[in-house]
Structure 1
Amino acid sequence: MLALPALAVMPAVADDTVRLNLREGVTEISQRVYDLHMTIFYICCVIGVIVFGTMFWSMFRHRKSKGRTPAKFHESIRVEVLWTIIPFLILAGMAYPATTTLIHMENTDDADVTVQVTASQWKWHYKYFDHDVEYYSLLATPDQQIHNKLPKGENYLLEVDRPLVVPTGKKIRFLITSDDVIHSWWVPDFAVKKDANPGFINEAWTIVDKPGIYRGQCAELCGNNHGFMPVVVIAKEPAEYEKWITNMEVKQRKAREREQELLSMEMSKDELMKMGEKVYNGICAACHQPNGQGVQGVFPALAGSPVTTGKDSITKHIDTVVHGVKGTAMQAFGTQLSMQELAAVITYERNAWGNDTGDLVQAADVNKVMNP
């Protein structure tokens, strides 16, 4: 017992693999949570030392070999009052700082930035309420590392293609929900961990004081790729953040304008297959497998499937990819991919793994299904 406090206050060394205590984090809330944790830990240590110390002292002092005889009494009102009142006072003393911290953690008023965080199998979608900016954040760890064909990187399974970007010194409110099953958005350095429940919105907030990169992950078992849902947040100085958010608005506006231009253009089969293969391997292969064979009883095969090979199934194929299939793991990718990417991946699925239908799907075909 005497060794426990020493373990608790052991400094957080650079190597996280030997961390023995809760991390302090980088926000006021995370520091309050850490201080609360340490306060209650020390109280428990003191209680443990007193209780076990008294017990062992009594056993030694009043042992039978010294001729001690046990006292004979049935009950003691004084003892019962003491062991009721003392624990009550201890719990009341612990409850006050815990309650004030929890109330402070739940107060999302007066936020400077609001971000909607939507989870789905297996990615995060971020939407900034005050700006016309939204995007998906997907795992960026290369497949070669996952399949042990390359050495693991420094941030293995904790890196994404598009991190969430927030300003320092500003109150950021998170509105957290889900498109399918229960997930949990967790960033330890912020002391933020909230479930993402389909049909509900949970709120959380943070104020990040130090610029930097902060990592977390989904903390609720949400399916076979649960471990592939990292969270990466980059905190920038306000001026740098404003520059980034303005640049993102311009990029996304131009992307939408470009997509409208593409509706009147047709891509060659080679262009569609090349882009489609990239999209498929990045998004679809996790379920349907790189060879299109799927997983028997779980994810249907695309190779030789009536949906991907039937001459009269092109519209159904587009509709399936765009709108998903309710009640199954097949997500709706209409909001996740551009019409050009949707056209390319559908073309790839209809011409890969021996399907060889010769069908070419263009962005205009996808637009007809999305906007009938």
Structure 2
Amino acid sequence: MSVQALRAGALATAVTAPSSALAEWGVNLPEGVTSISNTIYDIHMWVFWICVVIGVGVFLAILWSVLAYRHSKGAKPAHFHENTTVEIIWTVIPFLILIMMAIPATGTLVDMYDTSDAEMEIKVTGYQWRWQYEYMDEDISFFSSPDTPRDAEKNLMEKTGDYKYSVDNPLVLPVDTKIRFLITSNDVIHSWWVPEFGWKQDAIPGFINKNWAKIEEPGTYYGLCAELCGQGHSDMPIEVKAVPKDEYREWVAEQTGEDG
């Protein structure tokens, strides 16, 4: 099989593949595991297809103009004046398209920061270079630091799938629970980011930012500090373990028992 055929096949696969598969390849947004992340993904795809339709229409109009109005060298150019109706149309249509995109985006942005009616609170504090998690409704607080073996960093052992993402104390959260995050920093500006949650939030010293998540699927989700914060910036991984509510209650009982 020729290189050209392979390239054509790869392009056809990319165009026709489901958007979830494209997300796994890193060429599309992940759908995420929260209601907000799913809404963001839907808006993204809505705007994407609007742009595709506009792009196809523009290129077809250009192609049609080139073919329909081509003339030989020396032809006398046409003379015409403005058309008010056409100008109104090409002003109103883009305006309506922008409104169609802005309304759902604005509503989602408002929902993202509506932390009311939260069922639990987690305070996240950034340090150089680790995270502290405090369960405000429980007597639980701990630091979360990188847990990558030094031999893996030195290429003396095989790197696993969670290389540079695993931590010693992951953040354990229940599914189907609205969780309010209070995010701040103890030193410089950090940013707490788990892609599957659909948002990232700056951690600013002396200031508390709020956001929320309601995780819909159990699993382990990884994230990073998304703000350059110094030499150890790459050593601030985030590991979140989302578990069923019964399992979460058992974990809380174990933690409070150890603290006691």
Same fold (TM over 0.5): yes
- In the superposition, relative to structure 1, how do residues 14 and 8 fare at CA in structure 2: closer, same or farther (>3 Å)? closer
Of 152, 167, 190, the residue aligned with 2:159 is 152
1:304 alignment partner in structure 2: none
Name stretches of at least 5 consecutive residues in structure 1 with no aligned partner. 254-372
Could you tell me whether the CA contact under 8 Å between 1:12 and 1:19 is conserved in 2? no
Aligned partner of 2:193 among 154, 173, 186: 186
- Is the contact made by 2:23 and 2:30 (CA closer than 8 Å) also made in structure 1? no
Instruction: Specify whether residues 135 and 8 from structure 1 end up closer, same or farther in structure 2 by C-alpha distance, changes over 3 A only.
Output: farther
Kindly tell me: are residues 69 and 30 of structure 1, through their superposed partners in 2, closer, same or farther at Cα, counting changes over 3 Å? Answer: farther
Q: What per-residue deviation string (whole Å, max 9, x for no partner) do you get for residues 147-183 of structure 1?
A: 2222222111111000001111111110001111111
Change (3 A) 1:93 1:15: closer
After TM superposition, the structure 1 = structure 2 runs for residues 98-109 of structure 1, keeping only pairs within 5 Å, are 98-109=105-116
| Deviation, structure 1 residue 104 | 1.2
8 Å contact kept, 1:194–1:204: yes
Larger-gyration structure (1/2): 1
* DSSP 3-state at the match of 1:151: coil
What is the aligned partner in structure 1 of residue 15 from structure 2? 7
- 1:237–1:15 Cα change, 3 Å: same
Distance of 2:132 and 2:88 partners within structure 1: 56
The aligned residue for residue 207 of structure 1 is: 214
* Closer/same/farther in 2, CA of residues 85 and 4 from structure 1, 3 Å limit: farther
Instruction: Tell me the secondary structure at the aligned position of residue 114 of structure 2.
Output: coil
The match for 1:299 is: none
Call closer, same or farther: CA 1:64–1:5 in 2, change over 3 Å: farther
Q: Which digits, 9 at most, give the CA deviation of each residue in 1:20-60, with x for residues without a partner?
A: 21111111111111000000000000010111110111112
> Partner of 2:39: helix, strand, or coil?
helix
- Match in the other structure for 2:44: 37
CA contact (8 A) 1:7 1:20 kept: no
Q: Which residue of structure 2 aligns with residue 327 of structure 1?
A: none
Counterparts of 1:4 and 1:188, CA distance in 2: 28
Task: Give the distance between the partners of 1:189 and 1:6, measured in 2 at CA.
Answer: 22
Whether the 8 Å CA contact 1:158–1:231 is kept in 2: the answer is yes
| 2:63 maps to which of 52, 56, 66 | 56
Do the aligned partners of residues 90 and 223 (structure 1) sit closer, same or farther apart at CA in structure 2, a change above 3 Å counting?
Answer: same
* CA separation of 1:122 and 1:240: change in aligned 2, threshold 3 A: same
Distance 1:96 1:113, change over 3 A: same
2:50 and 2:14 map into 1 onto residues whose CA distance is: 14
**What is the percentage of aligned positions where both structures have the same residue?**
48
Q: Which moved more, 1:60-69 or 1:125-134?
A: 60-69
TM-score (norm 1): 0.63
Equivalent residue in structure 1 for 2:30, among 23, 26, 33: 23
In structure 2, the CA distance between the partners of 1:9 and 1:91, relative to structure 1 (3 Å rule), is: farther
- Shift in Å, 1:12: 3.3
* Aligned structure 1 segments of 4 or more residues deviating by more than 4 angstroms: 3-6, 66-69
**Shift in Å, 1:118:** 0.4
What is the count of residue pairs matched by the alignment? 250
- 2:13 and 2:75 map into 1 onto residues whose CA distance is 35
Q: Please say if residues 166 and 239 of structure 2, whose CA atoms lie closer than 8 Å, have aligned partners that are also in contact.
A: yes
Q: In the TM superposition, what is the alpha-carbon distance from 1:123 to its structure 2 partner? A: 0.6
Question: Cα RMSD over matched residues?
Answer: 2.3
Rounded Cα–Cα distance in structure 2 between residues aligned with 1:39 and 1:5: 21
Letter in 2 for 1:12: S
Tell me the alpha carbon deviations over residues 77-131 of structure 1, each in whole angstroms, 9 at most, x when there is no partner: 3333222211111101111111111111111001111000000111110000101
Matched, 1:131 2:138: yes
Structure having the higher strand fraction is: 2
Among 196, 203, 210, the residue aligned to 1:196: 203
Matched, 1:114 2:146: no
Structure 2: runs of 5 or more not aligned = 1-10
**Which moves more between the two structures, 103-112 or 77-86?**
77-86
Aligned amino acid, residue 181 of structure 2? F
Give the structure, 1 or 2, with the largest relative contact order (CA under 8 Å, sep 6 or more).
Answer: 2
Query: What secondary structure, in the 3-state scheme, does the structure 2 residue paired with 1:198 have?
Result: coil
